[in-house]
């Protein structure tokens, strides 16, 4: 694999390899000195055109734990605000000797363009492109689900996962549908009809317009934020009504099977898609998701860069 652009292009064996590698590299996190020399002399650029907390910081932590040099580029405060194009920014990064570019961009397809336009030699990792994909988020979600519900390793065959909320604007949902089904899980998308994408019939998952009927049969439930910043219209009558029909509160939590876990990619809107008591409950694994994100991103950087034939020093 030269780039990581889409969860849809990862096959089962590649996914299991990434998860197993993340588990092995995660052992470094438990040491007092959290560092391996594996990517010494390599340069990883975090190229972020959209805001991020978890993804940017965890890619930086992952690259540093593998001893890579890290350059952080945020569009805000850069020459992008003077009109510089993605191409000219990419050529600048090429001149800086980037070996990997971690790209977050508001346009769906931006990572694919950067990888295949011939502007740079670096590996490109999609850290979220518009409403399209966020493959490392899906990998860290799968890693977290596996750790809780299939701790013996392998894939997620037989597990049932509900993804609830603003599917229409969610790159996390699309990447998770691809990856979780590749790993053998059954996925059900839950949302009001207005927040389900056109063409969802071709996705390898079930769809429910109601949350309550799916609660007692899930092993994991992933709550998604309503992405108001991507909405130009009203997709539901009110926040209160949305929360009443699709929010996960303590009453609904009590109806999940005892072993079921609650995920959220963050950032959360407490009181909207998830109540504060559920977010803080022992069934919620959001903090683990963030920690696992570092392990998974270490694995992705390692697999893309450590075996590419260049001298890592
Ligand atoms: N889950 C996620 O992508 O979070 P950030 O936007 O904070 O990176």
Test site for ligand 1: of 7, 48, 51, 55, most ligand atoms within 8 A of the Cβ? 55
Q: Fold match between 7-134+290-305 and 135-285?
A: yes
Q: List all residues whose CB is within 6 A of at least one atom of ligand 1.
A: 52-55, 128, 137, 265-267
Query: Smallest Cα–Cα separation from 207: which of 228, 177, 242, 252?
Result: 177
Enumerate the domain spans of the chain: 7-134+290-305, 135-285
Q: What percent of the chain has pLDDT over 70?
A: 97
CB neighbours of 176 closer than 8 A, spacing ≥ 6? Answer: 7, 137, 138, 141, 142, 161, 163, 187, 222
Query: What mean pLDDT do residues 89-96 have?
Result: 94
Atom of ligand 1 nearest to the CA of 104: 8
Residue 232 is predicted with a pLDDT of 64
HEC profile of the chain: CCCECCHHHCCHHHHHHHHHHHHHHHHHHCCCCCCCCCCCCCEEEEEECCCCCHHHHHHHHHHHHCCCEEEEEECCCCHHHHCCCHHHHHHHHHHCCCCEEEEEECCCCHHHHHHHCCCCCCEEEEEEECCCECHHHHHHHHHHHHHHHCCCCCCCCCCEEEEECCCCCCHHHHHHHHHHHHCCCEEEEECCHHHCCCCHHHCCCEEECCCHHHHHHCCEEEECCCCHHHCCCCCCCCHHHHHHHHCECHHHHCCCCCCCEEECCCCCCECCCECHHHHCCCCECHHHHHHHHHHHHHHHHHHHHCCCCCCCC
Residue 127 is predicted with a pLDDT of 98
Q: How confident is the model at residue 311 (pLDDT cuts 50, 70, 90)?
A: very low
Atom of ligand 1 nearest to the CA of 134: 3
The architecture in CATH of the region 7-134+290-305 reads 3-Layer(aba) Sandwich (3.40)
Q: What percent of the chain has pLDDT over 90?
A: 86
What does the pLDDT look like over 108-140, one tens digit per residue? 999 999 999 999 999 999 999 999 999 999 999
The architecture in CATH of the region 135-285 reads 3-Layer(aba) Sandwich (3.40)
Atom of ligand 1 nearest to the CA of 265: 1
As beta bridge partners, residue 163 has 189, 222
What does the pLDDT look like over 242-290, one tens digit per residue? 999 999 999 999 999 999 999 999 999 999 999 999 999 999 999 999 9
Residue 233 is predicted with a pLDDT of 65
Residue 81 is predicted with a pLDDT of 84
What does the pLDDT look like over 193-208, one tens digit per residue? 999 999 999 999 999 9
Residue 310 is predicted with a pLDDT of 55
Q: How confident is the model at residue 312 (pLDDT cuts 50, 70, 90)?
A: very low
What does the pLDDT look like over 26-83, one tens digit per residue? 888 778 888 999 999 999 999 999 999 999 999 999 999 999 999 999 988 888 888 8
CB neighbours of 274 closer than 8 A, spacing ≥ 6? Answer: 223, 247, 248, 262, 264, 268
Which residue's C-alpha comes closest to atom 5 of ligand 1? 52
User: Residue 225 Cα, ligand 1 centroid: separation in angstroms?
Assistant: 11
User: Residue 310 Cα, ligand 1 centroid: separation in angstroms?
Assistant: 31
Average pLDDT, the chain: 94
Atom of ligand 1 nearest to the CA of 127: 3
Test site for ligand 1: of 74, 137, 268, 296, most ligand atoms within 8 A of the Cβ? 137
Instruction: Give the catalytic positions in this structure.
Output: 54-55, 82, 104, 134
Which residue's C-alpha comes closest to atom 7 of ligand 1? 53
Query: What mean pLDDT do residues 129-154 have?
Result: 97
Which residue's C-alpha comes closest to atom 1 of ligand 1? 265
Query: What mean pLDDT do residues 71-96 have?
Result: 91
What distances in angstroms separate CA 298 from CA 29, 59, 158, 303, one per listed residue?
11, 8, 28, 9
Total length of the chain: 313
Residue 308 is predicted with a pLDDT of 61
């Amino acid at each position: 694999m030269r780039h990581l652009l889409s969860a849809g292009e990862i096959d089962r064996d590649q996914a299991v390899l990434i998860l197993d590698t993340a588990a092995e590299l995660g052992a470094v996190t438990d040491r007092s000195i959290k560092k391996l020399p594996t990517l010494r002399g390599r340069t990883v650029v975090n190229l972020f055109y959209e805001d991020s907390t978890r993804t940017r910081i965890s890619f930086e932590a992952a690259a540093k734990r593998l001893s890579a040099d890290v350059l952080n580029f945020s569009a805000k405060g850069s020459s992008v605000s003077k009109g510089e194009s993605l191409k000219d920014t990419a050529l600048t990064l090429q001149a800086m000797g980037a070996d990997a570019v971690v790209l977050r961009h508001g346009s769906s397809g931006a990572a694919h363009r950067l990888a295949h336009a011939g502007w740079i030699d670096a590996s490109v990792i999609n850290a979220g492109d518009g409403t399209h994909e966020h493959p490392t988020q899906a990998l860290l979600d799968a890693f977290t689900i596996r750790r809780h519900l299939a701790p013996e390793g392998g894939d997620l065959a037989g597990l049932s996962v509900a993804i609830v909320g603003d599917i229409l604007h969610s790159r996390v949902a699309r990447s998770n549908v691809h990856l979780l089904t590749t790993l053998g899980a059954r996925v059900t998308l839950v949302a009001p009809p207005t927040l389900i994408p056109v063409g969802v019939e071709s996705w390898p998952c079930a769809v429910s317009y109601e949350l309550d009927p799916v609660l007692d049969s899930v092993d994991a439930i992933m709550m998604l934020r309503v992405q108001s910043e991507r909405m130009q219209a009203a997709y539901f009558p009110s926040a209160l009504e949305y929360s009443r029909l699709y929010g996960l509160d303590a009453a609904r939590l009590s109806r999940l099977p005892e072993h079921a876990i609650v995920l959220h990619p963050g950032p959360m809107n407490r009181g909207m898609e998830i109540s504060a008591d559920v977010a803080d409950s022992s069934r919620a694994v959001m903090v683990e998701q963030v920690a696992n994100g570092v392990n998974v991103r270490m694995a992705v950087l390692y697999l893309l860069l450590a075996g590419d034939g260049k001298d890592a020093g």
